[in-house]
Amino acid sequence: MTMSDERSGPAPHATTARQARARRMRIGSREVVTEGIPQAIIQDLYHYFMMVSWPQLFATLGAFFLVFDTFFGCFYYLVPGCIANVNPPGFLGDFFFSVETLATVGYGDMHPQTLYGHSIAMVEIFTGLMMLALITGLMFARFSRPKARFLFARYAVVRPIEGKLTLMFRAANARQNVVQEASARLRMLRDEVTGEGYRLRRIVDLPLMRAEHPAFAFGWNIMHVIDEASPLRTASDESLRAASASFILSLSGTDETTGQVLMARQEYTAAAILWNRTFRDILEWSEDGGLHIDYGKFHDVEPLEPPPAAAPLRRS
């Protein structure tokens, strides 16, 4: 084989087959294409049905239903006369009888009249009962699955608080009920090169000023102080972008209404970290002394007002 042959690449049909096996998925803001792992959907049906959208779920279940109806309809059609009063005549009548049998409806006009017909109907009824039980369990699992409705601000800000730079995120509970013992964790992912020249994607834990909230109902400002012990002590907007840094904020807690554990996460790229900005205030006191929260301003940020000359700052 010549050098040109080695560099010619795989055959076109091999490339097409590999692309067909490729799987696209999105993790945070990044699109990831994976290949080499077969998608064993049949061996992992439960996970597939829990992950697909509702239209895909109903379309798949409908396809299964039609396939089984056609399958058993063919068995009835193979032996003419095993079903009485077939209407319309031919395969279409056997197909509709299969539909009624698989759904355990049994209108009564068409019915098995031979041992063969009764045997096939018995197997189909058993299959229909199993399908009904599985679909019922699947629907209950999807409806009862805990789902957090945590609201994350689109941006995070870096601003001085008490003379120290602070990385601040804003979150809210969109259900506006109480989430007990809520906890937050913040991690940074960035590209690094070791002394040996090995490139890796490092995960760094960022400690929070307060990582727990006893009753998370409305809003929560989650803060990391950039002090001398912080992994961000030498960071800047430019360095974070150069390292393709991203931040993953995870929230969890127990829903007081249902008693279920809720979990959610949000990823922020370096471009979503706004330096020398602050969140717009969403709290207002009404004339009668009540607290008014305007979530229409939840994602708004504004430039940081210059501090008084006497106020010391670590870094602008």
Task: Read off the pLDDT of residues 71-98 as tens digits, 9 standing for 90 and up.
Answer: 999 999 999 999 999 999 999 999 999 9
Counting as low any pLDDT under 70, the low residues of the chain are 1-21, 25-30, 306-316
Supply the DSSP symbol for 233.
T
Supply the DSSP symbol for 304.
P
Domain at 236, CATH number: 2.60.40.1400
User: Which pLDDT does position 24 carry in this prediction?
Assistant: 74
- What is the rounded distance in angstroms from the CA atom of residue 269 to the CA atom of residue 251? 18
User: Which pLDDT does position 187 carry in this prediction?
Assistant: 97
User: Which pLDDT does position 78 carry in this prediction?
Assistant: 95
User: Which pLDDT does position 5 carry in this prediction?
Assistant: 41
Boundary residue ending a domain (144, 160, 179): 144
Boundary residue ending a domain (120, 144, 168): 144
User: Which pLDDT does position 308 carry in this prediction?
Assistant: 58
Boundary residue ending a domain (121, 144, 167): 144
User: Which pLDDT does position 49 carry in this prediction?
Assistant: 87
pTM of the full structure: 0.71
Residue 135 within any structural domain of the chain: yes
For residue 50, the surrounding DSSP H or E stretch is helix 45-51
Residue 2 within any structural domain of the chain: no
For residue 27, count other CB atoms closer than 10 A to its CB. 9
Q: Are residues 155 and 133 in the same domain?
A: no
Asked if residue 36 lies in contact with residue 19, where contact means CB atoms within 8 angstroms, the answer is: no
Q: Are residues 95 and 56 in the same domain?
A: yes
Q: Are residues 210 and 296 in the same domain?
A: yes
Q: Are residues 209 and 97 in the same domain?
A: no
Q: Are residues 161 and 295 in the same domain?
A: yes
Residue 28 within any structural domain of the chain: no
Cross-strand partners of 188: 204, 247
User: Which pLDDT does position 2 carry in this prediction?
Assistant: 41
- What is the rounded distance in angstroms from the CA atom of residue 266 to the CA atom of residue 6? 44
Q: Are residues 157 and 129 in the same domain?
A: no
Q: Are residues 59 and 131 in the same domain?
A: yes
Domain at 133, CATH number: 1.10.287.70
Residue 64 within any structural domain of the chain: yes
Residue whose token pair is 């509709």: 96
Q: Are residues 262 and 281 in the same domain?
A: yes
Q: Are residues 109 and 95 in the same domain?
A: yes
Q: Are residues 119 and 163 in the same domain?
A: no
Long-range contact set of residues 223-231: C-beta below 8 Å, sequence gap at least 24: 223/161, 223/166, 223/167, 223/168, 223/169, 224/166, 224/167, 224/168, 224/186, 225/161, 225/164, 225/165, 225/166, 226/158, 226/164, 226/165, 226/166, 226/167, 226/314, 227/164, 230/206, 231/188, 231/204, 231/206
Q: Are residues 182 and 262 in the same domain?
A: yes
Q: Are residues 139 and 94 in the same domain?
A: yes
Host domain of residue 232: 150-303
